[in-house]
Structure 1
């Protein structure tokens, strides 16, 4: 279990900005489940979800980078939650899966040339003797735009994407589960993304600029 408590390259739980953030948001209750819940909501809301921040630079996967940027996508937000948890003595690891996204934007779908989001990231926390999934990706403001309830987390039950939005339309479905890892598996991560979206790795790859809320306001 020490592996899931120790700092690693991307889950840099010993980085000063991560330590400061974790201490600020862990709460005052001694129970680790309560601290995990507090950290979950802090990461979900403090770092705005923006898939256009994806970069081929591995350094952008780290927890400290997500904090410094103030916006990121699912994987760095998952590493940030894992890093904060490890700092607080909660074993944590990263999970990766391919998900079909039915509530994207036309611009993002055109950019990806697919409705499958490869390498969606989530966090697993070891609480009360078992691993529990937590997905701090979508902040509340973005969920409201898409009319999807923000994902809650109670430290007991898995928190994964809702299958349907409030109107009964399909929202997210998991297509492939790649498993869990002590840190983001860099070669596997980028290799699979390149396989799914080769055009994003071409010399003339489109520049990833913007955010989903701006996409919707244009529409």
Structure 2
């Protein structure tokens, strides 16, 4: 609706239209904000669940040595495979990085999108775990978005609690990828998938606009308690 057209309306019509022109009531905005925050909180709870279940599957999971020495880890619960023929995947999750004192940062939210390459037969939904082996691979996400395999080398990771990266692709990869479905782990091919920051989710979770860099460096304000439980679960996983 143009300003000229609005100006041509009688005053009574403009008064009747004023609520619509002003946009949704503040109460509706607050309800939407609360709903979005609850959604991000649930995503963190789902990531905690994945880590706790990984602790119970220590003999067949991701090698502990890789997690101990990694620069960061992304947990994307219940990534959905879209379509049976064309394929595709889409999912959201959290990324934590190592801090200077050897602990873990608060989580930044991330979004993954890509093709269907690498899915196990019959799998419609799976948890995806990405192990970032170098600081450079982490720096890519602070720039907003990068493509796995192009901006950072990625390979399906070795499985088994004491296994080590051994193949040429595993040794060279900056990121090792895993899928977990119904308690079974497998290396996952993610070449060509894009990983990007989810700025809206960060804003919903932390209550204000905050960049991944600020989150990683501990500058996020009003951090929800669930973030501390997520970091604790990750620390316990490494101890197992």
Give the TM-score normalised by structure 2: 0.27
When Rg is computed on C-alpha atoms for both structures, the one with the higher figure is 2
TM-score, normalising length: structure 1: 0.28
